[in-house]
Homo-oligomer: A and B are copies of this chain.
Amino acid sequence: MASEGRQRVIIERVKPEIDCGRFPIKRVIGERVVVRAGIFTDGHDRVAAALLYRHTDESEWRETRMKPLVNDEWEGAFTVEEKGIYYYTLQAWVDHFQTWQKDLQKKSDARQDVTVDLLTGAQLIEQAAKRISGAHAEQLNGWAETLKKAEGKASSKALSEELLSLMDACADRSLATTYGKELAVVVDRKKALFSSWYEFFPRSLDSKEGKHSTLRDSEKAITEIARMGFDVIYLPPIHPIGETNRKGKNNSPVSEPDEPGSPWAIGSKEGGHLSVNPMLGTMEDFERFVKRAKDHQIDVAIDIAFQASPDHPYVKEHPEWFKWRPDGTVQYAENPPKKYQDVLPFNFETDNWQALWEELKSVFLFWIEKGVHIFRVDNPHTKPIAFWEWVITEIKREHPDTIFLSEAFTRPKVMYRLAKVGFTQSYTYFTWRNAKPDLTEYLTELLETEVREYFRPNFWPNTPDILPEFLQFGGRPAFVIRLVLAATLSSNYGIYGPAYELIVHDALDGKEEYLDSEKYEIKQWNWDREGNLKDFIARLNRIRKTNAALQTTWNLKFYETDNKNILFYGKTSDDLSNVLLIAVTLDPFHIQSGTLKIPLEELGIDPEQPFLAHDLLSGDKFMWQGESNFIELNPHVLPAHIFRLRTRMRREKDFDYFM
């Protein structure tokens, strides 16, 4: 029979609350946390509720009042302003004064005698005055006197907002219910939500006549990547590559002596995860590269692949971190019948697992020292999820700027769990969602379920591992279509280049693997080849940078059109100062036309007034009026419109625009 028997208010079903509070939600600086809960008490008493929140560095809770919606559902919100971890919880109490006012109002309306009720009110006010002091208390005592002297005739005064607000400020919370959990928010820097990634192999980017190029050679490319508008350069593993079972061209199990091997076969006598492949240059070259990128506001992300080539120093230093077979050989990676003989997985069930965890953590810390604050993690779903939770939490505690991108294209529950345990951004199934129902269904799952609270999508139309069929067969229009979709549906996106902008579409027969993949050989790119997409990409990224609506994923809304090959959607800033309507044909072959149904009411547009739709991709301007507007998309010219709307009605300063 606990002492809280008199805490009559119930707080239940708080949202967001991931897996009963086991995991934090995610936000970036400046985003809002909207909290809802069921809050109610027995009987007819009025309830008041507060949302409490604090940054982990603050000892005191801050507070904002919650508002009732319908059916005992309440809502409150706060904005996160600092990186790190915030906590939030709820408090609610029976508000006897508000209840009294409500009842007085009803009795007053029914012309019932309220003499005793006013005395009751005066009592409540006097009790409140005793809880506080100073001017506030004096004011309250004044009110109590007024009510006592009124002889039943002071209802209108007693019902005043002024009195309510005075009483509310010193409400009796001694029997308040506090929600039993403190729920966490991980707050990241803005790039966690808005980033444009460019992946390339430095050994090929500036290759001349098939010669291995270096980080120094690649420095020149930074300017061009910056011109295209990317703000993350992501490099596949930059470490020494093993020689034992080195892979040859097109994933051949046998290689010629001069072949470079797969960068994911990490480790040789020249070092492991803390070394730079000498073919790429020195550690100093790497640090210089990172600095050069930083000069362009570009983060360098490196790939963290926790696996070892048979030549990795770990194999001799820590044989217990690997599995050994009955014939005395070390177990290489396999997913039968596939074999990956150039790669050894770690045995996370080793008795010496704690040392292994510490060592892997030190890899992240090492590269953070070298200026890397973004890590793309290779195949995280093949390492224990508990490890990721531990290592990401450990690292972000000291380095809250760090961003971890999860490269997991696996079962949905596993992908989501990796996000829950801490990955900042995640690869998605976008890569294989091409048709309208598939895209809308998937985006709806990502955006309109609890998933949005912890899983930040990063959309990749291609990767070195995946050349999707749509790109193999759809020609240039397909590349433009997928690029526009990735860059406008999701605020985080990336491409693997120069294969992308050069429209490389030859695949291994019947597979989604690149033919003559750069993973196994040095490629020689003609980066300025005619027909490349570099200028288009630059335009698209410029549109992203100058339109706030594209800098978040959470504002996406799908709208109606009568053509099932056209995807029509909108993105707007909260204050509607930036309104984009985007139409993309999903058909790379034929001209598609259709009628867009503009959500006039939602956008506050007068159906009787014309408004300007400015296509930011083509530069064309259209005067539209009313709900229905016809468009035609020729994929060979431009398969998409990104309309920025300007409406005469909404903002005076847009008026000039029409002149």
Contact = CB atoms under 8 A, between A and B. Distances in A.
Contact of A42 (B1, B38, B335, B384): B384
A79 interface: no
Given A337-B106, A413-B38, A8 B386 contact: yes
B337 A107 contact: yes
Contacts of A7: 386
Interface stretch (A115-123, A252-260, A294-302): A115-123
A651 interface: no
A428 to B, nearest CB: 16
A5 B417 CA distance: 16
A336 B110 contact: yes
A349 interface: yes
A107 B336 CA distance: 6
A653 interface: no
Contact of A44 (B73, B107, B335, B383): B335
A390 B5 contact: yes
A12 B384 contact: no
Q: This chain: how many copies in the complex? A: 2
A411 B19 contact: no
A109 interface: yes
Q: Which of A20, A107, A382 has the most chain B CB atoms closer than 10 A to its own CB? A: A20
B119 A384 contact: no
A417 B10 contact: yes
Interface residues of A, number: 59
Nearest to A20: B20
Interface string A327-371: 101000011110000000100110001100100000000000000
A365 to B, nearest CB: 15
A15 to B, nearest CB: 12
B8 A13 contact: no
A277 to B, nearest CB: 27
Interface of A: 1, 4-8, 10, 12-13, 19-21, 38, 40, 42-44, 71-73, 103, 106-107, 109-110, 112, 116, 119-120, 122-123, 175, 325-327, 329, 334-337, 345, 348-349, 353-354, 357, 381-387, 390, 411-414, 417
Closest 4 CB pairs of A and B: A110-B337, A119-B326, A106-B336, A20-B20
